A and B are shown apart, each in its own frame.
Chain A
Amino acid sequence: MSPEFQTAIALGLVVASAVFFVTRWLRARKKPGCGGGCSCSGKKL
């Protein structure tokens, strides 16, 4: 695996993480709940 390819994948993961946080923030604004805190899963356990 060349260093350039590694850099490209690493940056892709960084962008995916940033998109994850933006989506999460937007969803939290739209959907009322308990703020996604440590006592709130909001999903089937």
Chain B
Amino acid sequence: MIPLSSLKPGQQAVITRLPADEQLAMRLREMGLLLGTTVTFVRSAPLGDPMEFRLRGFELSIRNADAAQVLGELDEADSESGGKALPFVPPAHVVTRSASRTVLSISHASVEPNTQSHLAASQPKSYAVVGNPNSGKTTLFNALTGLRQKVGNYPGVTVEKKSGQFIGQHGEKIELLDLPGSYSLGAHAPDERITRDVLMDLRQDTPRPGRILCVIDASHLERNLYFITQVLELGLPTVIALNMIDVAKAQGTPVDPELLAEELGVPVIPVQATRRETLLPLRLALSRAEVPHSNWKPELSSHLTKAADAIASHWPGTPAPDHRKPRDPLVRLKASILLAAADAETPNLSAELVAGEALGIVLAERAALDRELPGWREKLVTARYHGIEQLCHAAQGGTHDASDRLTQRLDDLLTHRLWGWIFFLGAMTLMFVSIFTIAQYPMDWIDAGFDKLSELVQGLMPSGDLRDLLTDGVLAGVGGVVIFLPQILILFFFIGLLEDTGYMARAAFLMDRVMSKVGLHGKSFIPLLSSYACAIPGIMSTRTIENPKDRLVTILVAPLMSCSARLPVYALMIAALWPSGTGSVWTKGALMMGLYLLGTIAALFFAWLFKKTILKAETPLFLMELPPYRLPSLHQIVSQMFQRAGIFLKRAGTVILGISIILWFLASFPKMHVSEGTGEAHEPHEPTKTEQLQQSFAGHIGRTLEPALAPLGMDWKIGIGLVAAQAAREVFVGTMSVVYNVERKKGDAPDMLGETLRKQQRPDGTPVFSPLTCLSILIFFVFSMQCVSTLAVVRRETNSFRWPLFQFCYMTGTAYLLSLLVYQGGRLIGFH
């Protein structure tokens, strides 16, 4: 026997022993790594850890240390096709198809009619959409609902709740609830728990939909069926969408939907979620007045059935045990989940499932099983996989282990020790350079548009406060932020592209070694990468991280990744560094990339520091599927870009508009009166704009802060910007625009804000925005915590004020210290 970590690329092994850690072993089993399963070692990540294995037709990535705990016998008959399960032999306890259906339909027919009516004519047409991650579930949901979607959150957690509707065959509205992707109802991550809780009717805020739409990736039928068969056991009316049938066919593993439907007893509709013209049969199936429920369930040994039934009969709220009647499938499934849980997870899971008095029975039944049926946990999962293998034999002619060849070839390149890194860095460079080159044209058009609008207002209205508010407040403030929309769209386009193609998971695979060095999971890299767009979805995506401490560390450091709101500030300061038309795109791109890199290094450093000090914990388990590469759906990416653009413009039209108006007021009031002069030198005169700004409310705030900001090279006007940017970072740009447009003399040509800033001088004639000050501002913005929305999400996510407060203090404190160091250090060595 050798550990899996000792295999060489291409070598196969048959699993003979799983780790002693029951939690890890159960996770591996549920992903299909059972005793007797053949796995192929594909490759190690470029930094040597983690390892990629192929089994049951998909790629699973685990760390060397965990692979070392799994033992196997070398399978000398290595083949290119990859790992596979042992040839299917129906176990003795598996009854024939027809017999199984007969037995099961009898059992369901005798259960209480309100939960188990065979036909669901009276139930409202509302479907929960469920499936494995990467099964195309959300693509299908988007294709069915179009723009009729509502995006919100499950109260108490920041897991996104997406619901939508479409018009059915008879003109009726059909509701869809898109639940987070899940591998098992055992639910190991917070988003999987949401799916489990909604399906098991455990959430008061989200009633269980009356019907279920299961989405299966036909090219990974066996792995997908593990979760789907669990869902089918709930006994709810179900329709199955068999997605990616084209991919399965191209792989040489076509699935017969009719045979699968016959086996499962529910409609199975072949679809290609990316092609809307294939969805009509599914729409018709979902519109049906009557949808059957499945009769499928695995054939368990009598010991296991008895144990699950004993627990189910003691479940709170269950009527007195009656051995003549079968259990309610919902309670029975809850009992099975609790029975199979690892000991360490039991107390929490029991509370989540509202198990109450059943807990004692669970522990007693486990003890009995340990005595009477050694290896019963393995048998529990194996029974399901045996049933699934039987299904695959019927619908697909067997279980298929062939991996997508294109994916293998691309992975040979993209996770290569040298080429993998070159591609990764190249993709990042391309993204940041594109932000400057492509975005420049639409930015110029938007800028010219706002200038024209401003001139138009000035030409149409007589001078007065309202005109000043419209031109110097509204147009300058909102225009100053909207101009960066093209850059933000390009950023979202690239992130969407990386996610849609499947490269994001490879980035996590590549980076896991680095992440594990700072005590984090490779999965933490994805929230961190998402935080380049916005920290809020980044923080929301930490729900996939199982360990609470790792999740908290990721939440705490995610805002250090430079989000799109920082982009306008970076772009403005870079524009202030080089006069218009000078400085190459490459230099500006390199500086921008350097700022992003600095934020990333800071995030990793603080993650390491927190894991070593306040949030000490062992490096977490890494178990991740590497999905096949897919051609990105341009429609999906573009619609997501426009969704984001709509949200950005809505912010510009509400929050930023409101802040611009209030800032204009603060910068323009109280009004200074005409000063009375006594001699030639003190002639009565209209106060200048600078004098007005100095005496304004904003001026007072800025000057109060000036002593603290002066050591960083910032004056009181920049101080006004920093105060306003506490609402949202991009407001800094709008504020600078308001502050300096307020100062602009009448008749001055409207100028690009960067040019305007470069012209500003201190009383001693030196430029306000010297290279050192610009650098100091940039450093401050890289590190400081300046987004109220992010802090609100962190508070909700951590359910405490302590962590957002800590986050604000450590980030802003670091920003201040490093800006101070850069500015004062720079002056000491002769810069200015």
Q: Is B238 an interface residue when CB atoms closer than 8 A count as contact? A: no
A35/B536 contact (C-beta < 8 A), A20-B654, A44-B149, A45-B147 known: yes
Inter-subunit contact B469/A32 (CB<8 Å): no
Inter-subunit contact B662/A36 (CB<8 Å): no
Q: Is B71 an interface residue when CB atoms closer than 8 A count as contact? A: no
With beta carbons under 8 angstroms apart, the residue of A1, A18, A40 that contacts B461 is A1
Chain B residues with CB below 8 A from A41, complex form: 151, 646-647, 650
Inter-subunit contact A32/B156 (CB<8 Å): yes
Chain B binding surface, main DSSP class: helix
Inter-subunit contact A6/B466 (CB<8 Å): yes
Q: Least Cβ distance of A42 to chain B in Å?
A: 5
Residues of A18-45 whose CB lies within 8 A of B: 18, 20-21, 28, 32-45
Inter-subunit contact B661/A33 (CB<8 Å): no
Q: Is B153 an interface residue when CB atoms closer than 8 A count as contact? A: yes
Inter-subunit contact B465/A10 (CB<8 Å): yes
Inter-subunit contact A33/B153 (CB<8 Å): yes
Residues of B377-396 whose CB lies within 8 A of A: none
Chain A residues with CB below 8 A from B796, complex form: 32, 34-35
Tell which of B182-190, B591-599, B786-794, B810-818 binds the partner.
B786-794
B467, B468, B536, B646: residue with the most chain A Cβ atoms closer than 10 Å: B536
Inter-subunit contact B654/A38 (CB<8 Å): no
With beta carbons under 8 angstroms apart, the residue of B466, B537, B787 that contacts A39 is B537
Inter-subunit contact B647/A7 (CB<8 Å): no
Inter-subunit contact B151/A45 (CB<8 Å): yes
Chain B residues with CB below 8 A from A9, complex form: 466
Q: Least Cβ distance of B81 to chain A in Å?
A: 42
Chain B residues with CB below 8 A from A43, complex form: 150
Inter-subunit contact A40/B151 (CB<8 Å): yes
Q: In whole angstroms, what is the CA distance A43 to B149 when docked?
A: 9
- Chain A residue total in the interface (Cβ 8 A): 30
Inter-subunit contact A28/B466 (CB<8 Å): no
Inter-subunit contact B465/A7 (CB<8 Å): yes
> Range of interface residues on chain B?
35 or more
Q: Least Cβ distance of B746 to chain A in Å?
A: 15
Q: Is B155 an interface residue when CB atoms closer than 8 A count as contact? A: yes
Q: Least Cβ distance of B413 to chain A in Å?
A: 33
Inter-subunit contact B792/A10 (CB<8 Å): no
Q: In whole angstroms, what is the CA distance A34 to B469 when docked?
A: 32
Chain B residues with CB below 8 A from A10, complex form: 465-466, 468-469, 665
Chain A residues with CB below 8 A from B793, complex form: 34-35, 37
A6, A36, A37, A40: residue with the most chain B Cβ atoms closer than 10 Å: A37
A2, A10, A41, A44: residue with the most chain B Cβ atoms closer than 10 Å: A10
Q: Least Cβ distance of B464 to chain A in Å?
A: 3
Q: In whole angstroms, what is the CA distance A36 to B749 when docked?
A: 37
Inter-subunit contact A36/B149 (CB<8 Å): no
Residue of A nearest to B730 (CB): A38
Inter-subunit contact A42/B151 (CB<8 Å): yes
Inter-subunit contact A34/B662 (CB<8 Å): no
Chain B residues with CB below 8 A from A39, complex form: 534, 536-537, 540, 647
Q: In whole angstroms, what is the CA distance A24 to B176 when docked?
A: 29
Q: In whole angstroms, what is the CA distance A1 to B661 when docked?
A: 20
Inter-subunit contact A7/B466 (CB<8 Å): yes
Chain B 346-389 per-residue mask, 1 if CB under 8 angstroms from chain A, else 0: 00000000000000000000000000000000000000000000
Residue of A nearest to B787 (CB): A37
With beta carbons under 8 angstroms apart, the residue of A2, A6, A18 that contacts B662 is A18
Residue of B nearest to A1 (CB): B462
Q: Least Cβ distance of B246 to chain A in Å?
A: 29
Residue of B nearest to A13 (CB): B661
9 A-B pairs in the complex with CB atoms less than 8 angstroms apart: A3-B462, A3-B465, A5-B464, A11-B665, A17-B659, A32-B153, A37-B789, A40-B152, A45-B151
Identify the B interface with A (CB < 8 A).
147-153, 155-156, 158, 160, 461-469, 534, 536-537, 540, 564-565, 643-644, 646-648, 650-651, 654, 657-659, 661-662, 664-665, 787, 789-790, 792-793, 795-796
The 8 closest A-B pairs by CB, nearest first: A6-B464, A35-B792, A37-B789, A37-B536, A6-B466, A39-B537, A10-B465, A17-B658
